[in-house]
């Protein structure tokens, strides 16, 4: 069954954000990352004539909220899309000492600008990190930020893709080896959730059951955790200590509204 648009007539879409929206760890056919936003754009373009749907993705990995507001949000005024997705602030929340109340105030300022220049704005809440090593200690902070974002969405009539309540991404297979970015199937689940949040019916269910997985022994889990720490955690901490970002010298993969 094709995706059927029920409530919105969208012919242009701009995605804003960080690595989550850039699509890290979901390899695309062209060598660049694809990700949930690219997948959502494909769903929105279904059934339209060639060139009938335009899409831009300005997201860049590692970007903090203020960087997204400075670099990406002003482009929406120029592009004037029917839809913009704005998923930002997660990297701020992960930083020690950050205040989710203060981050939310800056988030709302950005939403006010976007609401003036886009037909529809969709935001994403943060994931529930209760099963994620280290990040599970930030669960309360993320929940506080989520509460603020939902309130902002209500005030500006934004659509909300509630990632916190998406049970499918609690499965380890929804995440790539670095445990910070989604796997291809995880990106697909988020794309389906975003589509449904916009009022589309999809043939696939974002909460569809996963195939039965092999149960890891305690020794297997310890071995995986050590490998993850060596390959991903230590380099990530090192970049933070050096003041570096994975997004240094990276540019948006699709900076203009082009036919999809």
pLDDT tens series, the chain, 260 aa: 444 444 468 999 999 999 999 999 999 877 789 999 999 999 999 989 888 999 999 999 999 999 999 999 999 999 999 999 999 999 999 898 999 999 999 999 999 999 999 999 999 999 999 988 778 899 999 999 999 999 999 999 999 999 999 999 999 999 988 878 999 999 999 999 999 999 999 999 999 999 987 676 777 667 766 666 676 566 666 666 666 666 667 899 999 999 98
In angstroms, the Cα distances linking 14 to 22, 81, 229 are 12, 6, 35
The pTM is what?
0.89
Torsion sign across C-alpha atoms 116, 151, 36, 63: positive
b/e map of 79-110 (b: 16 or more CB within 10 Å)? Answer: bebbbbbbbbbbbbbbeeebebeebbebbbeb
């Amino acid at each position: 069954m094709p995706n059927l648009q029920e409530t919105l007539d969208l012919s242009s879409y701009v995605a804003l954000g960080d690595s989550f929206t850039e699509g890290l760890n979901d390899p695309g056919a062209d060598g660049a990352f694809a990700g949930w936003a690219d997948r959502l754009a494909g769903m929105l373009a279904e059934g339209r004539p060639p060139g009938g749907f335009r899409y831009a993705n300005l997201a860049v990995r590692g970007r903090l909220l203020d960087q997204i507001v400075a670099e990406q949000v002003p482009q929406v005024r120029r592009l004037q899309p029917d839809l913009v997705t704005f998923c930002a602030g997660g990297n701020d929340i992960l930083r020690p000492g950050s205040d989710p109340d203060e981050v939310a105030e800056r988030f709302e300022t950005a939403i006010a600008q976007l609401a003036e220049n886009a037909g529809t704005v969709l935001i994403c809440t943060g994931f529930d990190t209760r099963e994620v090593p280290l990040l599970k200690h930030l669960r309360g902070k993320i929940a506080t930020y989520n509460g603020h974002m939902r309130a902002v969405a209500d005030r500006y009539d934004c659509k909300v893709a509630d990632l916190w309540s998406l049970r499918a991404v609690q499965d380890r297979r929804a995440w790539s080896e670095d445990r910070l970015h989604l796997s291809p199937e995880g990106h697909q689940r988020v794309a389906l959730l975003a589509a449904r949040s916009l009022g589309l019916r999809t043939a696939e269910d974002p909460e569809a059951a996963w195939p039965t997985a092999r149960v890891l022994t305690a020794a297997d889990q310890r071995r995986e955790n050590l490998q993850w720490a060596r390959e991903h955690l230590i380099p990530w901490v090192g970049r933070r200590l050096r003041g570096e970002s994975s997004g240094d010298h990276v540019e948006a993969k699709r900076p203009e509204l082009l036919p999809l």
